Amino acid sequence: MIVSASYRTDIPAQYGAWFLRRLEAGFATVANPYGGPPYRVSLAPGAAEGFVFWTRNAGPFLAALDEVRRRGFPFVVQFTITGYPRVLEPGTLEAAAAVAQLHAIARRFGPRAAVWRYDPIVVSDAAPAAWHRENFARLARALRGASDEAVVSFAAPYRKTARNLAAALGRAGLAWRDPPADEKRGLIADLAAIAGDAGLRPTLCTQPALLPGAAEPARCIDAARLSDVAGRAIRARTKGNRPGCLCAESRDIGAYDTCAQGCAYCYAVDSRARAQAALKAHDPARAGLAGAARHGGGATGARLSARRR
């Protein structure tokens, strides 16, 4: 099984010590986001065939990546670098530092081990479409050689996302909008051409209505890429998270409402204050990031999970 760490939170940026403890223990306990007791995900060799790490700041995690490789696990880093105005991303790493980190990962582990994500695209008064074209071009030039793929997607107008974006931008007297499909296709085509000029294959994450076009569909949990990194075949069936998703089957070990970086568009955090409280209360000795007992699972973990829901 491929292990995802994590599209629910930024483990490399904030929970690296916890991850290394779980790697040593050979399992992580995960709070069930749909209710019910926590469950275990094996991180033992043979059970975990490889890892996909999702982050906006890999700096604190570079030593952990060395340890993952030392233990024989292949991995891919899905690295989001957008360089948005602080009204949208108050707590993320500066873009220049993130670019340097992605280059460092490529030098250390090879360009197939890293994917650049420019998503979600949020069209707003703070960052209109023309701004995205210029910003993406600047980042693509800076990232030449650090990766071979650039993933893009547009912010989905989920109720939580729309509410948080409106609140964050509204405090600054700004607004965001969900562009019509034709405008999105035009912007994707422009970004795809820019990516190609920088040696990056443009892909589009889970928005099939905007395909076919200049970008291919993305496979963010990509068994083929992980196989290239491993130097051996890693086989996993396609089992997307939603319609149009082409990701390979995986198990995620993160928890919602635990990333404290405060991105206004984040679907995984209901409240930054709640996430900051979770990070402050975090105990790296626990088996899970949320709702799990110190030594993992069992009735105690289930009761903790029930109290926190």
b/e per residue, 73-97, with b = 16+ CB within 10 A? bbbbbbbbbbbbbebbbebbbebee
What pLDDT does 309 receive? 27
- Residue 292's pLDDT is 42
Helices (H), the chain: 11-14, 16-25, 62-70, 95-109, 129-142, 159-170, 181-197, 223-230, 272-281, 298-308
The pLDDT profile of the chain, 309 residues, written as one tens digit per residue, is: 999 999 999 999 999 999 999 999 999 999 988 888 999 999 999 999 999 999 999 999 999 999 999 999 999 999 999 999 999 999 999 999 999 999 999 999 998 999 999 999 999 999 999 999 999 999 999 999 999 999 999 998 889 899 999 999 999 999 999 999 999 999 999 999 999 999 999 999 999 999 877 899 999 999 999 999 999 999 899 988 888 899 999 999 999 999 999 999 999 999 999 999 999 999 999 999 975 433 333 332 332 233 232
* Cα separation values, 153 from 46, 103, 106, 215, Å: 33, 23, 23, 10
To the question of pTM greater than 0.85 for the whole model, the response is yes
Q: What 3-state DSSP class applies to 216?
A: strand
- Interatomic CA distance for residues 169 and 192, integer angstroms: 28
What angle is formed at CA 15 by the lines to CA 13 and CA 18, rounded to 5 degrees? 150
HSE (side-chain half, CA atoms, 13 Å) at 303: 5
| Confidence (pLDDT) at 294 | 39
Q: Taking Cα atoms as reference points, which of 107, 111, 106, 84 lies closest to residue 95?
A: 84
Distances from the Cα of 9 to the Cα of 53, 94, 256, angstroms: 10, 19, 6
Provide the token pair at 70. 């030392």
pLDDT at 121: 98
Task: Return the pLDDT at 111.
Answer: 87
CA–CA dist 114, 186 (Å, integer) = 27
